[in-house]
Structure 1
Amino acid sequence: MPTSILGEVGDLPGPAAVRTAQGAALQCPSCGSSHVAQVLGDNGGVSYVCTACGHSWS
């Protein structure tokens, strides 16, 4: 397993903006990028990771 999500980004087909139920694109709170991926959290919750800077949050 890579030590950083940035090691996995090259394998992704392309950036996609995750949209909320209201249709607004999410932005990374760290860098402001809209290149955000939705991922499953440890306990089945939803988390997000910025594919531009690697910041993750839930």
Structure 2
Amino acid sequence: MPTSILGQVDDLLGPAAACAAAGVTLQCPSCGSSHIAQVLGDNGGVSFVCTACGHSWS
């Protein structure tokens, strides 16, 4: 268990944090925007939502 809230945040960010650390930008497959939010899916999986056009994917 992490000793601080920062450790918990890193655990939640998962793939998006790894991409950001590697200098990779997620892009919407529909419109190409890099304005992407990471959200938890219904079954605990991770999904992404484009805040520019509303497209979602996992």
Shorter-normalised TM-score: what interval? 0.5 to 0.7
Query: How many percent of aligned residue pairs carry the same amino acid?
Result: 78
For 1:41, the aligned partner's letter is G
Normalised TM-score (structure 2): 0.63
C-alpha RMSD of the superposition: 1.8
What is the total number of aligned residue pairs between the two structures? 41
Query: 4+ residue runs of structure 1 moved beyond 4 angstroms?
Result: none
Q: Which has the higher contact order (CA 8 A, sep 6+)?
A: 1
Unaligned runs of 5+ in 2: 1-14
Q: Within 5 Å, give how 1:1-58 maps onto structure 2.
A: 19=16, 21-22=18-19, 23=22, 24-58=24-58
Normalised TM-score (structure 1): 0.63
Unaligned runs of 5+ in 1: 1-17
Larger % of helix: which? 2
